[in-house]
Amino acid sequence: MSHVSADLTRLGSIRSGSLEVRLAQTLAEIEAAQRLRYDIFYREMGAKPTEAMEAELRDFDEYDTVCDHLLVIDHNLPEDDSVVGTYRLIRREMAARRGSFYSASEFDISPLMNYPGEILELGRACVAPTYRGRAITLLFRGISAYAARYKIEVMFGCASLPGTDPSALALPLSYLYYYCLAPPALRAVAVPERYIEMKRLPSYKIDPTTALFEVPPLLKAYLRFGGFIGDGAVIDEQFGTTDVCIIVKTDMITDKYAKHYQLGREVPASTSDIDE
């Protein structure tokens, strides 16, 4: 049974034309988000579903039963197909119900767990192909409203680079290590048995402009918010990705990109695309 919050009014909604971003309100909406995740992760990106997922054409796991599901809904589409973007949001009390955060299977997140303020894990982000500009903008605005409501001070999660060959990702991984490493007090570290060295090239061989071009757009957006990266990468064979831990302190989000995504401002949502 998937989780639906009893307090549906605590976030409200944000609108932009026919698009609305808000928390899921029904089990049907959660299942629609899971179907979207299945379409993107397994059909488009080639991840490997479990037999249960393949039978139901949904991406799901035990964390879906305790989290909040942030949705972008297109009201111009039929109800069953109207969820065009989603994020999974997990706060401390939610993770406690499962015994851990999802990221803990890949990273030692004890520095984040020890942080005195509220923390929020972001995950399972996906957007339907034709909505990837304006819908991701709305999702970020929804996350901002959620963070303000719960006084979130640190956000974190697994961010993915495509492929499972670290040598092929030597430039972006090395760039992330040299230029974006989190301060020790917040530095999650890949668990020892899965740790992949990120420092694969000497620093003098890193051209930041070229390297940043090879960083996926979502991860790049986190960096533009002032995000940091944990130490060590992890290979995710199921999803066919190389994961890093992204960490964002909400009080350090850069002014330029806070304004670009209208973060923390109660005004109509922007529909501009993510800058490439």
All structural domains of the chain, each given as residue ranges with its CATH number in brackets, are 14-254 (3.40.630.30)
pLDDT along the chain (276 residues), means of 10: 48 86 95 98 96 98 96 94 97 96 97 96 96 90 93 96 97 98 97 98 96 95 94 97 97 64 41 29
- CB neighbourhood size of 12 (10 A): 13
CB contact at 8 A, 237 and 214 = no
Pairing of strands 19-23, 68-74: antiparallel
- The predicted structure's pLDDT at residue 255: 60
Pairing of strands 152-162, 118-127: parallel
Report the run of H or E that residue 200 belongs to, with start and end. Answer: none
pTM: 0.89
CA atoms within 13 A on the CB side of 38: 19
